[in-house]
Each structure stands twice: as C-alpha cells, then as structure tokens.
Amino acid sequence: MRALTWQGKYDVRMSDSFKPRLISDQDVIVKVTGSSVCGTDLHLYHGTVLQMQKDDILGHEFCGKVDSVGRAVKTLKPGDRVVASACIACGDCYYCKQKLTSVCENSNIDEVQNYLYGHRTAGVLGLSHLNGGFAGGQAEYVRMPYGDTTLLKVPDDVPDEKALFLSDVLCTAYHAVVRVDVQKGDTVAIWGLGPVGLLAACFAFQKGASRVIGIDNNWRLEYGKSRLPKLETINFSDIPSGSSVSTELRKMVDKGVDRAIDCAAGEYPKGIGHKVEIGMGLENDTSEIVNEMILSAKKFGTVGVVSVYTGYTNHFNIGAIMELGIRFIGVGVVPVQVYWEELLQQIQAGTLDPTIILTHRIDLEDVPKAYAILDAREEHMMKPFVQTKFSDPPAPGTPALTRF
Ligand SMILES: [Zn+2]
Ligand SMILES: [Zn+2]
C-alpha cells in the first residue's frame, strides 16, 4: 500500500509499505477513504518529538470502511463506514471505564512518559514511539487496535468530509471549551486561529459567549472572520511597541477576559530569553503565551492550555495565578469517546458544520507537499481533506481536488 513515512527532520515521503493485517482479536483493518494533516503532525515534521523512527507512518485523523475484523470485535463488520479516534484506548481500564480514553493505562507501552509525567498517556495513532508507535492514517490501510472502542460508525447521511474531524480537532476544540468552562455571557480570548482555535471560537459562541477574540498574525484572522462574522481579532504583529497582547485585550474588554484558551504552540519562543534557555536545554517550552493569558484574564478567570507542551518551563507567573485566583487548566489530550457521539448528532441535526475549517482537497500522493505548505502557512490552507483511491467524489459544497 501507499503511505506517508517520516524519514527525518523536514523529510516526509510517500513510500510503498506493507498492508497491515489483524494481529489481535480486537483489531480492525480499515480501508482509508479520508485523512488529514494536523498541527500536531508539524511537531513531528520539525523533529522536536522524541522517539521517532525512520519509516514511521504518520497521521492520527482518518475515516474509512471496515475491511476485516478480529474475532472478538462485536460492533463492526466489513463494509461499515467508520471514523477513527486519534487516541488508542483499551475500553476496559480504570480510566477507559470513565471514558477518559486519552489516558488509557493499557494502550501505550512506552516507559519514557513515566519519567517525565509520573504517568503514561494513551497511545496515539501515528505519533512516535513515545505514544506507542502505532502506524498512522496517512495511508491506504490502517490497523486499529481495540476496534470496538476506537472506531465510531458513521451514518449514511454524514459525508466523510464532516465525519473525519471527529478523530481529533472537532472533539479537541469542544473539550477545550468545556474544560475552561465557557458560560453564557462570557468573554473569551483564543491564542492561535488554526483549525482548533477556530472551532473553539465556534463552540464558545455556541455556549453563549458574548464576545470571542482570536489572536494570530496572518491570513487566518480574516479567514476566521469570514467563517464566524462575530469573531473579533488582534494581530499580534501589529501591536505598537510598548504595548502587548494583554494590554490590547484589556483595552477591548474591561477588567480582562473570563476565559483564555491557548490553541497556538509552545514550541516557538518569541523573546530572546526563552530562545537561549530552550537552546541550552534549560527548559522544554516557553511560558510566554501562558503568561500573556494570565495577564489578560479577569480575576478568578480561567486559563486553559490545549497546545502541545512537553516538559518544563521557566518564568511562569505562578504569583498572579495564586494572588488573583486564576484557574489554570491543562486541557489534556481529548478523550474523543466522551464527545464524538454528541458531536455527530449535532452534525446530523445541522447545528454544527465542521467544514468551516476545510479549505482543500488533496490526493494522498501530495501529502508531503501539504506538510511544507501547512508549515509555511501558505496557500491559505487551513485543513486539507486527503483522498485515497478508495474515496467517494467530493460531497456537495466541499472543495474540489487541488494538485500541487
Ligand atoms: Zn490532530
Ligand atoms: Zn484503557
């Protein structure tokens, strides 16, 4: 089969690979009909994620058709349309029984996280051996362990272009808004207007937020406003010297915002101090955005972190959190299974349109180019739908194929 493989820093390629086969009784082999590239995949592309190996197949967002099932699989049969959960979960451990599948205790055999976090998270599809080393969905076939838990049946009236985002970004954005506790009338600021940031803004309005302000520095600001007309924006590159994002936000919202959500990334320091400290190995992540959020929040407000942070950070404003009663929340990797049925119902009812983030349809063979384009934030590419030779034609109202 054809699959996208990781070959090293800034080097991903299409390769011929072996079609996966059933290994355990709970496995399901899925023929992929749609996948995507995620902001998280770019961290692998940059080579900043530990324990990557040459020829690893990437991708944790995909949908498809069941090809074959293991003997113990109860809910699925060949031919069923399904969407996959990004996290691999056993469905049976202490956490899975509470549906907290992203911290499953059985699906990730890697030991490194125990040293870093004192615990392990669940395995994640196509996301390094640090997360279990599962082959991912930017391919023609995928082996999904624990198929009864990790696959959701997709009804006929929901096209792949809408079902696909239940794998991760749709559930992640919703999880963020639920975790930071957005309430009717709240003011909400969101750092980063990528797919997760934009969907979080959409869900914040859905929960009754009175104002939502998105912070970014490129075309995604205009794109966000074109999809959500009530969205307000701050371009952090246009802020006059001497001012700051928090100062500008405090000018726009008296007393500060009720909820602040970081949907950007902790990998990129802005100031020289953090650049030096990360370079010297004195910290893993920058605290700049987190501190901006803390200074932008209302007293007793909530600050939540969705983006990828991996370890320790310096200069974290713990004093402001304590003195002002700010609630600091690690949103955590989304336990997809808590939300995906509810969100699928919303899609069916027409109250939620996940395609607000869908800008392109590309072919699997062009995925390496999509990594470079998304990394450079070019072509106004927000989120691509990746077709394979098994895909249906584009659903009405969704982008036609672009070849790069
Ligand atoms: Zn993702
Ligand atoms: Zn489990």
Q: Domain residue spans in the chain?
A: 2-168+334-387, 173-330
Ion ligand 2: residues, CB within 5 A, are: 89-90, 93, 96, 104, 106
Domains 2-168+334-387 and 173-330 in one fold? no
Ligand 1 mean position, distance from CA 23 (Å) = 25
Please state, in angstroms and rounded to a whole number, the distance separating the CA atoms of residues 71 and 197: 40
Measured from the alpha carbon of residue 105, the closest ligand is 2
Please state, in angstroms and rounded to a whole number, the distance separating the CA atoms of residues 280 and 256: 35
Ligand 2 mean position, distance from CA 325 (Å) = 34
Ligand 1 mean position, distance from CA 95 (Å) = 22
Please state, in angstroms and rounded to a whole number, the distance separating the CA atoms of residues 232 and 354: 20
**pLDDT at residue number 154:** 98
Measured from the alpha carbon of residue 62, the closest ligand is 1
Ligand 2 mean position, distance from CA 107 (Å) = 7
Q: In CATH, what class is 2-168+334-387?
A: alpha beta
H or E element, residue 34: strand 28-35
Measured from the alpha carbon of residue 26, the closest ligand is 2
**pLDDT at residue number 266:** 53
Ligand 2 mean position, distance from CA 148 (Å) = 12
Contact 102, 334 (CB under 8 A): yes
Q: Are strands 358-363 and 383-387 parallel, antiparallel or unpaired?
A: parallel
Ligand 2 mean position, distance from CA 110 (Å) = 15
Measured from the alpha carbon of residue 108, the closest ligand is 2
Measured from the alpha carbon of residue 95, the closest ligand is 2
Ligand 1 mean position, distance from CA 283 (Å) = 25
**pLDDT at residue number 268:** 65
Q: 3-class SS at 161?
A: helix
Ligand 2 mean position, distance from CA 62 (Å) = 21
Ligand 2 mean position, distance from CA 88 (Å) = 8
- Please state the separation of Cα 354 from the chain's center in Å: 13
Ligand 2 mean position, distance from CA 120 (Å) = 11
Please state, in angstroms and rounded to a whole number, the distance separating the CA atoms of residues 335 and 353: 21
Ligand 2 mean position, distance from CA 123 (Å) = 10
Sheet of 56-57: strands edge to edge? 11-16, 2-8, 56-57
**pLDDT at residue number 212:** 98
> Tens-digit pLDDT profile for the chain (404 aa)?
999 999 999 999 999 999 999 999 999 999 999 999 999 999 899 987 878 999 999 999 999 999 999 999 999 999 999 999 999 999 999 999 999 999 999 998 777 777 778 887 899 999 988 888 999 999 999 999 999 999 999 999 999 999 999 999 999 999 999 999 999 999 999 999 999 999 999 999 999 999 999 999 999 999 999 999 999 999 999 999 999 999 999 999 999 999 999 998 655 677 888 888 888 888 888 889 999 999 999 999 999 999 878 788 899 999 999 999 999 999 988 999 999 999 999 999 999 999 999 999 999 999 999 999 999 999 999 999 999 999 999 999 999 999 98
| CATH 3.40.50.2300 correct for 173-330 | no
Ligand 2 mean position, distance from CA 102 (Å) = 8
**pLDDT at residue number 267:** 54
Ligand 2 mean position, distance from CA 295 (Å) = 38
Measured from the alpha carbon of residue 89, the closest ligand is 2
Strand partners, 144: 28
Q: Are strands 81-84 and 151-153 parallel, antiparallel or unpaired?
A: antiparallel
Concatenate the DSSP letters of all residues of 348-381 into one string: HHTS--GGGGEEEEEEGGGHHHHHHHHHHT-TT-
Measured from the alpha carbon of residue 137, the closest ligand is 1
**pLDDT at residue number 309:** 83
Ligand 1 mean position, distance from CA 312 (Å) = 23
H or E element, residue 298: strand 297-305
**pLDDT at residue number 151:** 98
Ligand 1 mean position, distance from CA 212 (Å) = 23
* Predicted TM-score (pTM) of this structure: 0.95
**pLDDT at residue number 310:** 79
Strand partners, 15: 3
Ligand 1 mean position, distance from CA 80 (Å) = 23
Measured from the alpha carbon of residue 122, the closest ligand is 2
Q: For residue range 288-339, list pLDDT tens digits in order.
A: 999 999 999 999 999 999 987 878 889 999 999 999 999 999 998 899 999 9
**pLDDT at residue number 265:** 62
Q: Which two tokens stand for residue 108?
A: 């990730």
Alpha helices (H) along 55-140: 112-117
Q: 3-class SS at 278?
A: helix
**pLDDT at residue number 231:** 98
